[in-house]
Every structure is written in C-alpha cells, then in structure tokens.
Amino acid sequence: MTSPRSQVLLSTCFVSSFTSKVLTPKYLSSTIPCPSSARMSVPAVTFVTGNKNKLREVSQILNADSSQTPFTITSQKVDLPELQGDPDDIVREKCRIAVGERSRALTLVEDTCLCFNALKGLPGPYIKWFWDRLGHDGLNQMLAGFDDKSAYALCTFAYSSGKAGTEPIVFSGATEGKIVPPRHSPNGKAFGWDPIFEPAGFDQTFAEMDKETKNSISHRFKALAKVREHLTKEFSD
Ligand SMILES: O=c1nc[nH]c2c1ncn2[C@H]1C[C@H](O)[C@@H](COP(=O)(O)OP(=O)(O)OP(=O)(O)O)O1
Ligand SMILES: [Mg+2]
C-alpha cells in the first residue's frame, strides 16, 4: 500500500488566456480517480493553465505509470497574462501571478516554446502568436530561406509552495526535431503546432503519432518527470 505521505494530489486550474476578464472560479469535472485516503492526507498542487490540451497531456503523463504517485485532476477558470522575455523568467513570473490569484496555494504553471535554430531560438515563447497569426504554412515559410529546419520544443514548469518569501522553482524539458509541412492523423483535431513538429528519430510528426508515444518523448514529459521527482521528495520529507 502506498504511504499517504508519498502521495501528491494534483489539481489543475483552468485559466482563460483569451480574455482579459477574470472569470468566476468554476470547478470542472474531476477526470482522474484518486483514492479517498489520498484526497484527505495530501496537499493539493494546482496546475494553472488556460490550455485544455496541456491539461489533458499533463493528466495523461502523470497517470501513465500506475506504480507512480496517484494524482487527481480538477480544473478551475481564472485569467493570467501572456508575458515576454527569457523562458525561465516568464514562467517564474507567471507562477508568482498565479500564486497571487490562488491565495498562496501550492501552484504549478507551465510555458511552452517552439524554437527554430535558424532563427536563433525564435519564435520561442512567442510561438502562440506566430502560430495564431501565421498558421502551419506560415511557420514553414519563415524557414523557407534557410537550409536548417531544425527546431526544439521546450516546456518549462514553475512550482511554488505559495509560502511568502519563497521563489518559484523551475523545471525544463526539451525535445529536438525539425519543422516540416503539416501532417496529422485523420482522427481528431491536432494540438497547436504538433502537425509541423517531427521529433528527431521519428518519421511522424507529434500530430501523427499516438498520444502515448508523444507523451513518452515530449518536452512536457521530460519537464514533468523533474516536477514529479521534486514533489514526491517534498511531500515525503
Ligand atoms: O505540446 C504542444 N504541441 C503543440 N502545441 C503546443 C504544445 N504545447 C503548447 N502548445 C501551443 C499552445 C500555445 O499556442 C503555445 C504555447 O503558449 P503558452 O503560453 O505556453 O500556452 P497557452 O497560452 O495556450 O496556455 P497557458 O495558459 O498555460 O499559458 O504553443
Ligand atoms: Mg499562455
């Protein structure tokens, strides 16, 4: 039986980043079952995001290995700004803001970059706007004048215990690959720029591979492994 102290209860906070209005907190459905003993005995770490696909992947990654710590996922709508600068600074500031919104609760946030080597790392943290405005074809065209189509996906989490005077702790994971003309599996809607990112060593884009494969090699998976290790230690001490 798993010791309650080694269990971490993770809830997620659903943030609308598409409006400037702060939305009324609203808990959505709990998607991952968790033993009731764990619910009562462990602190809740709230993952704050406005992106349903991130939320789904985080949930799938954390629950993929049943021998690992059990997690419960719930969601809540709040609002957070899009920030600019260095990825670590962005995610730290995002975390400080989220902690403020959450009345100093245990808080986890994430920021994702897509970095083109030919463009010295850009669009990087600005990929959201580039993808939104230019789409998959426009992102490909940005590299039309370069032989180097290599890129990397970077995921950076920041975690805060919410205690006054503490700084968020940052965990990063990157997956190398290249930018290709869009290809996705016929089933369902692809997540963001997945159709144009082909990870190194694979002949499929993120959007063509099954979710288990993406979730075992992705930038998010690598960063989340570090988050999980940290939280497991923090709550078992
Ligand atoms: O694995 C991914 N595969 C494909 N696309 C992805 C992935 N992960 C994030 N994305 C997209 C979402 C957003 O267009 C941009 C990151 O922006 P980013 O600010 O981190 O995300 P967001 O604003 O959607 O959610 P959040 O509220 O957590 O900030 O890249
Ligand atoms: Mg964002």
> How far is Cα 150 from Cα 190, in angstroms, rounded to an integer?
21
Whether the Cβ atoms of residue 149 and residue 141 lie closer than 8 Å to each other: no
Dump pLDDT digits (tens) for 19-59. 222 222 333 323 333 333 343 345 778 888 889 899 899 98
User: pLDDT (tens digit, 9 = 90+) per residue, 155-176?
Assistant: 999 999 888 899 999 999 999 9
Cβ–ligand 1 contact at 93 (below 6 Å): no
Q: What percent of the chain has pLDDT over 70?
A: 76
Whether ligand 1 lies within 6 angstroms of the CB of 192 is answered as yes
- Range scoring the smallest mean pLDDT among 67-76, 118-127, 148-157, 204-213: 67-76
- The residue whose CB lies within 8 Å of the most ligand 1 atoms, and thus the one to mutate among 18, 51, 213, is 51
ipTM: 0.99
- Total tally of structural domains belonging to the chain: 1
pTM of the model: 0.86
> What CATH number should be reported for the domain holding residue 141?
3.90.950.10
Consult the annotation and say whether 94 binds a ligand.
Answer: yes
Sequence-separated (6 or more) residues with CB below 8 Å from residue 149 = 118, 143, 178, 179, 180
For 150, the domain range is: 4-236
CA distance 141 to 196: 12
